[in-house]
Amino acid sequence: MSENFSNDKICVVIGASHAGVNFAFSLRSAGWKGNIILFDKDPVLPYHRPPLSKGYLVNEDASEKNFLKSVESYEKENIILRLGVTVISINRSENNIVLEDGSVQVYDKLILATGARPIIPSIQGIESVNNLYSLRTSEDVENIRNAITISRDKRVIVIGGGYIGLEVAASLQKMGATVTVLEREKRILARVTAPEMSHFFQELHAKNGVDILTDKDVISFSTKKGIDTVVCSDGSSFDADIVIIGVGIHVNLELAKNAGLKIENGIRVDETTRTNDEDIYAIGDCTYHHNPHYDRFIRLESVQNAVDQAKVAAAAICDKYLIYNTLPWFWSDQYDIKLQMVGLSTGYDKVLVRNEESENPKFSIWYFKDNILLAVDAINNPKAYVLGTKFIKANKKVDQSKLIDSTIDFKPANLLIE
């Protein structure tokens, strides 16, 4: 296929997931008239990732609804998709990239939306485990679904009690598997939530028949007669037909690093998402960027960040100056529980819990530092999530005694200190 688009500007995007795809469409609507070419080694039409561990795993038919954009949308906006193609290197001095077949694609602007990949820890015996999966791509989901379908006993060990591990556990349980989650820390979600929330999810999973075991440091795997056994440092061991690894991610930095771009826990970008090369921008999970609200550099694994940085990069390239200044938000669905989170709770010194009168669990956890609201986690409680967003954005002081009194109506006027 000829990529010889002479006399025309070319914007090349490496990585066609939430960040890359949203960028391409934002760039077009920001007025870019030149070519837009998206590369991704994943051969599947770009899709929403969050549902992979949730509805998409359980319900095969959901796949069609899961595409970020239809094929026709790319055609209509004249965005070229080069799927199933791996980019090998970036030549900054020549403004081009080299593809796996040795061919070269030149660029005027280059966007790195390379994302991340699951960590596969180097645990003794891991290479010989029969059915070992992580979950990041739609192919992973197909493989897990097939493995569950053909497995007779369907005993699943999930290693890692973070959001991915817990969502997969909930989904596989729904699919008829017997699931045990092994978490290395003293509590699940230890890195991202307060103990109250860890406790809630531990109980929720127990109620639904998923065993969550904490303080379980996996040190080896052994395989006998097709059955894998997971062994922990305390001597306990667990037989598994299927092992799922959900212990975090490695950022895909190799291309940027080899090209000599500035790296600090991610690709370092400025407030317009530009790297230290004026023609190269980076967006999404792979970036290390400044968050003005919390006034520090962070790396975020989230759809929100991917989409927001995509818009900022598109604006910057079209000379429409837009600064990255958004509040991080996240969500998770497990069983019939809806968790919505806003803000970053890191460094909190106080946690307040507000319980609503309700048949089903409905509460919110409010994180403060020096009485300043940092973050809110809301369980089945969108109002708390929306209020939290408003208060954090506007740096509002919250009346803490009123906040935890569920007889006081959940309205800004009732909860703010003038």
Partner 1 sequence: MAKITFVTTDNKSIILEGTSGSVMQLAVDNSIPGIDGDCGGVCSCATCHVHVTPEHVKKTGEASEIETDMLELNDHSNEYSRLCCQIEITDTLDGLVLQVAERE
Which helix (DSSP H) or strand (DSSP E) does residue 165 occupy?
Answer: helix 163-174
Q: Least Å distance between CB 399 and partner 1?
A: 17
Q: Least Å distance between CB 380 and partner 1?
A: 8
Instruction: Calculate the alpha carbon distances from 96 to 83, 88, 180, 276 in Å.
Output: 18, 11, 48, 16
Q: Least Å distance between CB 70 and partner 1?
A: 4
Instruction: Calculate the alpha carbon distances from 78 to 18, 35, 38, 227, 334 in Å.
Output: 18, 8, 11, 50, 38
Considering beta carbons, is residue 77 or 399 the nearer one to partner 1? Answer: 77
Binding site for partner 1 (CB under 8 A): 25, 29, 48, 50-51, 54-55, 65-66, 69-70, 72-73, 76-77, 303-304, 307, 329, 331, 333, 338, 340, 380-383, 385-387, 390, 411-412
What stretches of 279-381 show up as alpha helix (H) in DSSP? Answer: 303-317
* 413: Cβ contacts below 8 Å, ≥ 6 apart: none
Q: Least Å distance between CB 6 and partner 1?
A: 28
Considering beta carbons, is residue 260 or 382 the nearer one to partner 1? Answer: 382
Q: Least Å distance between CB 270 and partner 1?
A: 24
What stretches of 30-162 show up as alpha helix (H) in DSSP? Answer: 55-58, 71-76, 138-150
Helical packing angle, 303-317 and 18-29, nearest 10°: 30
Neighbours of 320 (CB within 10 A): 12
Tokens read off for 157: 């060990």
Considering beta carbons, is residue 85 or 303 the nearer one to partner 1? Answer: 303
Q: Least Å distance between CB 310 and partner 1?
A: 10
Considering beta carbons, is residue 73 or 89 the nearer one to partner 1? Answer: 73
Tokens read off for 174: 């729904």
Q: Least Å distance between CB 382 and partner 1?
A: 4
The residues with which 378 forms a beta bridge, in sequence order, are: 340, 364
Considering beta carbons, is residue 296 or 383 the nearer one to partner 1? Answer: 383
Considering beta carbons, is residue 222 or 380 the nearer one to partner 1? Answer: 380
**β-pair type (178-182, 96-99):** unpaired
d(CA 384, CA 375): 11
Considering beta carbons, is residue 18 or 289 the nearer one to partner 1? Answer: 18
